[in-house]
Structure formats: C-alpha cells, structure tokens
Homo-oligomer: A and B are copies of this chain.
Amino acid sequence: MNGADNLLDTLIAGGVEVCFANPGTSEMQLVSAIGNRDGMRAILCLFEGVASGAADGYARMTDTPALTLLHLGSGFANSMANQHNAMRAHVPLINLVGDHATWHQQYDAPLTSDVAAHAAIPSDWVRVSESPDDLAQAGAEAIQAAQTGAGGIATVIVPANHAWEDAKVAAEPLPVPRRTRVPEASIARAAAVLKSARTPALFLGGRALREPGLDAAGRIARATGARLLCETFSARLQRGVGRVAVERLPYFAEEALQALAGLDRIVFIGARPPVSFFAYPGKPSWLTPEDCETLELATVDEDVEQALLDLADALSAHEPANVVAPAPEPEVETPAATQHGPLTPLALGQSLSALLPENAIVTDEAATCGMALYPLTTQAAAHDWLSLTGGAIGIGLPLALGASVACPERKVVALQADGSAMYTVQALWTMAREQTDVTVVIMNNRSYAILNIELARVGAGTPTPKTLSMLDLSRPDIDWVEIARGMGVPATRATTPAEFHEQFEAAVARPGPALIDAVVTQELPG
C-alpha cells in the first residue's frame, strides 16, 4: 500500500463515493488508486471548472461531499470560479490537488506555483500532506472539515511522492459535528419580534428552503402574518405545486428595495441581510429599510431547519400553511403549443411550467431569461431549483451534471444562458459519456443580455457599436446544435413556441442527455 491507496480507502470508508477528475502526471498514483477500487466512481471532466461545478451540484442534492481531482496550481485555478460558487452555496466539497514531489519543488519546474495560495482563496480548510502516512489522516480531516456547519470546501494538497511512497494504514474516520441548535432564548426573542411586528417577514436561505423548513415557515406565516422571502440566489429551493411558496428577492436593487419596503421586522434564518449584487452610482448597496428592525436568528451553518421548527412551536403555529402553490387550472390545450410567433421567455416559461416532470431538478443559469422563467414556474410540478450562488458564470452545465450523478432517477433540466454555457461547454461531453438524464435548454439570445441592461444602469453613457460589440454574441451566431452533437449530445433547435413545446416534451420523455437550442426573442427588462 502507498499513500494514495490509504487515502482512497479512508475517503471511501468516510462515505465519499464520486470523484470528478481532471488529473495530470502528478496525480497518476491517485488515478491508479481510484482505478483499483470499486467504492469510488470516477467521472472524467475535460476542464477543471466542470469538475468543481459538478461536485457542487452533487453536494447540493446529497449533502455529502464529492471529490475533485486536480492538477497542481493551474488545475486548481481552472476550477476556482466554480469553487467560489460552491463556497457561496455552503456545500461540502473535497478537493485533492496534486503537487510536485517534495524534493522537486525547489527546482521551480515550469508548472510549479504556490498551490496553497490558490487553494486558500475559496477553501474553508486547506491541508498540505506532510508525509505518505499523513496523507490518509489529511483525508479523514477533510471529510470532517467539509461537513462542518452547512458544509465547506476542504482542500488536500498531495505532493506526488506522498502518493507513491509506501504508507502504513488508512486513517480512522473522525466525527462529523452536529450543526448548532439555536438556543431557546433566541427562539423566544424571534417569536416576540414577530408577534410585536405590524409587517413582519421571515427571510430564508440555505437549508431553510427545503420542504421541512418551508413547511414550518408556512405555519409561522399563517400564525403571524409574516411574509416569506428568500435570498435571490439559493443553493437549492424546493418549490412548485403543493409546496409553501416563498417570494424570491428580485435581482435588481431598485426592485429589491421595493420588495422590502414597508416591512418593520425581518427575521433572518439561514441568510444574511441582503445587499445589492453590484454597486451603482448614487444607489444604496444595503437593501433593508432603514427603520426596519432585523434579527439574525440562525446562520447558514446552524441548524436552520430545527430553528424553524422550534420557532413554529414557540408561536404555537400548528395550522398548515396557506401560502401553498396551487395546481394550475387544467386547460384543454397549452397555449404555447399552438404558437408560431417568436419564442419569447413567456412562451418558454409556459411550456416549462406545463411540462416539467414531477420531482425534476432545475439548474438556473439563465440570467435575464431566468428572471422571467422563475415566476412562470411557480405552479409547475414540485421540483428543486438550483441557482448561481456566487455570480461566477459557467456553473449551469456542470451543476446539472453533478445533480444528475447524485440523483440518477430524477430528470434534470438545465436552463442555461448562451454566454454562460460557453464558459464550461465541456460539461456536455461528460453528460454524453455518463449518459446523465439532463435536458439542456440553451436560452440563445446571442448576447450577454444582462450587460446591455447593466451598461445603462451604471450610467456608462450612450454605447457606440464598438462598445456593444463587447457584449454581443453574434457575428458569428453560435450553433449550439452542432456544438452539442460534436460532444455527443443529441440536439435540436427551436425558434417558435410550438417547436420548443414539442421538442421539450420529447426531450424530457426520453432518458439521457439532450440539448435544445432555444433561439429566444427577448424584450429586455430594466
């Protein structure tokens, strides 16, 4: 047995089952150790940002960490944007990053860089293995670190020789600490705040957005008249027919201010007071009304579901929620199916809402289109909605891949802006290889549409054609059907509501990956 063998045995014994890998020479013993074991599924990704985004998607659906396997500092760098998103999603994730053999590092060979400096940026916990025997211990600690609180990024840096040199034994698993229960006094205080309020709200985030938490929140809302709000970009929100409906805070600061206006008390559970995504000249960053009293009852790392249950009990809120999304009125024919005009986000949303399979997982990196699709799917069949938590684009396709690996029995629908899809387009190939059950819908508006809006909002003056050329994805138009087929994913193009409806219906009816290039005509908001 060498260090790599013991590390893998430790990780497998600790419940880690999947590795999203893009290895290089310095990781060959880790590759070999994975290849020699049944307990770890190996999924090759053709870019590291796919691996980290997929590990995030996997963790959002299982609450357990997947591995990434990355090649030195530059391999980690390629994964970093989606590590940032994972960090903001508060998910458990374990990175194994190879480095040069310890004695080789002094020579500053071409690929040498400061791996620990890379890892420190998005990681909650970083550990450099100190010896072949220490490597398994580092793995055991990583499992613990990744599952502390809501979850965090644990990175183990593996000098190549620690993987290949002889080592004694795997490490003993370490206890995973329970999430902190919010003290009774805090619960009582929150109950008092809600009772004394004229216009209260609960502002929910993290695991408060799963069914048990939402159910309790719905009962609290009924008992106190509190509005239920949630963060704009949540890691995982359970919604759709039969679920307690929550108002999602709008993205644009002006609309968010409006949504919060008039509230006199807000209790935050699993979320922090919201701020605007970007700063704008002369506009406030802080969105909570000045005269509103706020209480942060439970951080995202505490036991937010229990906090909601305890708060409901403290308020004797036993009546079931009355803000449950109802099933839509049955219609003889879905309107979208008969339309032959331009494919608007509205038409697309109508089809999605009608056709979304029960218990689907929706990944939303649809940017401007996504803002339109979210309210349109309030009455879709029950589903999980996964957002871009950290704002670093390029997560949608990897997230869908990882969610599908986690939940092979559920349909994943990836709502995907074209510009963001291009960032980690390599994910399509892994979807094809693993035959993941993902329907990708490219919202092809041929621009970074959000930036056309933001250009005006930041007061950057009247744009010249040259200015607009930097925000525009035409010349040439991207042919997503060809790109998808080039990576082994069957694909079709829809340019009318009727075409989209038919193609989406067919795609979700069939297992395996599929892509629809939805050429949307969009009137931009804002």
| Contact surface of A with B, Cβ cutoff 8 Å | 21, 23-26, 28-29, 31-32, 34-36, 42, 44, 46-47, 49, 73-75, 77-78, 80-81, 84, 88, 100-101, 103-104, 107-111, 113-114, 117-118, 120-122, 160-161, 164, 233, 275-279, 281, 285-286, 389-392, 394, 419, 422-423, 425-426, 429, 432-433, 450-451, 454-455, 458-461, 463-473, 475-483, 485-488
> A126 CB to closest chain B CB, in angstroms?
13
Closest-by-CB residue of B relative to A101 is B279
A29/B460 in contact, CB under 8 A: yes
Chain B residues within an 8 Å CB radius of A161: 279, 281
Contact sample, A vs B, 13 pairs, CB 8 Å cutoff = A25-B277, A26-B278, A34-B466, A35-B470, A36-B464, A75-B392, A77-B77, A78-B80, A110-B277, A113-B121, A160-B278, A478-B486, A478-B488
Alpha-carbon separation in the docked complex, A32 to B275 (Å): 26
Chain B residues within an 8 Å CB radius of A473: 46
A32/B460 in contact, CB under 8 A: yes
Alpha-carbon separation in the docked complex, A306 to B81 (Å): 43
> A85 CB to closest chain B CB, in angstroms?
8
B114/A121 in contact, CB under 8 A: yes
8 shortest interchain CB distances as A-B pairs = A35-B467, A476-B488, A482-B486, A74-B392, A101-B279, A104-B279, A483-B486, A77-B80
User: Given the known A-B contacts A81-B77, A109-B285, A121-B114, are A100 and B486 also in contact in the complex, defined by CB atoms under 8 Å?
Assistant: no
8 Å CB contact of A275 from B109, B392, B464, B470: B109
8 Å CB contact of A160 from B75, B286, B450, B458: B458
B487/A277 in contact, CB under 8 A: no
Kindly name the residue among A23, A34, A74, A75 whose own CB sees the greatest number of chain B CB atoms within 10 A: A74
Chain B residues within an 8 Å CB radius of A44: 469-470, 472
B110/A88 in contact, CB under 8 A: yes
Chain B residues within an 8 Å CB radius of A29: 458, 460
Alpha-carbon separation in the docked complex, A472 to B480 (Å): 24
Kindly name the residue among A75, A77, A466 whose own CB sees the greatest number of chain B CB atoms within 10 A: A77
B476/A433 in contact, CB under 8 A: yes
B479/A485 in contact, CB under 8 A: yes
Alpha-carbon separation in the docked complex, A426 to B47 (Å): 12
| A-B contact sample (19 more), CB < 8 A, given A35-B469, A104-B276, A477-B488 | A28-B451, A28-B455, A31-B471, A32-B455, A32-B463, A49-B78, A74-B392, A77-B80, A80-B80, A103-B279, A103-B285, A104-B275, A107-B275, A111-B278, A113-B122, A118-B121, A160-B279, A164-B459, A482-B483
A121/B117 in contact, CB under 8 A: yes
Chain B residues within an 8 Å CB radius of A275: 104, 107-109
8 Å CB contact of A426 from B104, B108, B422, B433: B422
A111/B394 in contact, CB under 8 A: no
> A468 CB to closest chain B CB, in angstroms?
7
8 Å CB contact of A482 from B25, B47, B482: B482
Alpha-carbon separation in the docked complex, A276 to B112 (Å): 12
A84/B74 in contact, CB under 8 A: yes
Alpha-carbon separation in the docked complex, A419 to B478 (Å): 22
Alpha-carbon separation in the docked complex, A9 to B11 (Å): 55
Closest-by-CB residue of B relative to A468 is B35
Alpha-carbon separation in the docked complex, A429 to B286 (Å): 39
Chain B residues within an 8 Å CB radius of A88: 110
